[in-house]
Amino acid sequence: MPMEKSEAPRSLLVLAVCAVIVAAMGAWLSFAPVSGPVSGQVSSPAMSTAARSPAVAGGTAVAGFDSAMTFNAAAGNSIKLVLAGDVLSSSIANPSPGQFLTLLLCQDDVGARTMSWPANLKLAGGSFPLTPSPNQCDALTAVYDGNNWYEIARSMNE
């Protein structure tokens, strides 16, 4: 069943809330246990930074267009690209295992631009054709396991 236009912002909100919950769970799971008895108050446990995946805080990085796109995962967990032509090949550089990355891909005033996804991005259903309408944006979120990116969510703005 196609998503209604009014549902797209709600879907992005749900996606954002899920990302915050997952990030919080990752931080919670990396707490080291406190030794010794606890009486009356709970002390702050020491946090192990070795177990945490790096997260890049704040904002959306804006990538410059290239028909052979390289998205820099170290630039942020959210990257926006306005498609000024077809992307014939793409890759994601500098990822960290456990990193979540959202790509916001927007058609320019012309529209009908296409995207060749990175070879190590495993898409649900095997493909993700972009909305062809001019000035419309689609979003894809994936998580990196150290070798491959796995799609966990998408939002189409048809």
pLDDT at 84 over 70: yes
Residues near 104 by beta carbon (within 8 Å), at least 6 away in sequence: 60, 78, 79, 80, 81, 137, 138, 139
pLDDT at 52 over 80: no
Say what the pTM is.
0.66
Q: Is residue 1 part of a domain?
A: no
Q: Is residue 2 part of a domain?
A: no
Q: 49: domain range?
A: 7-155
What are the beta bridge partners of residue 90?
69
89-93 and 68-72 beta bridge pairing: parallel
Q: Give the total number of structural domains in the chain.
A: 1
Instruction: Please report the pLDDT score of residue 47 as a whole number.
Output: 36
> Which residue shows structure tokens 């991005």?
121
As given in the structure block, the two tokens for residue 6 are 């009014």
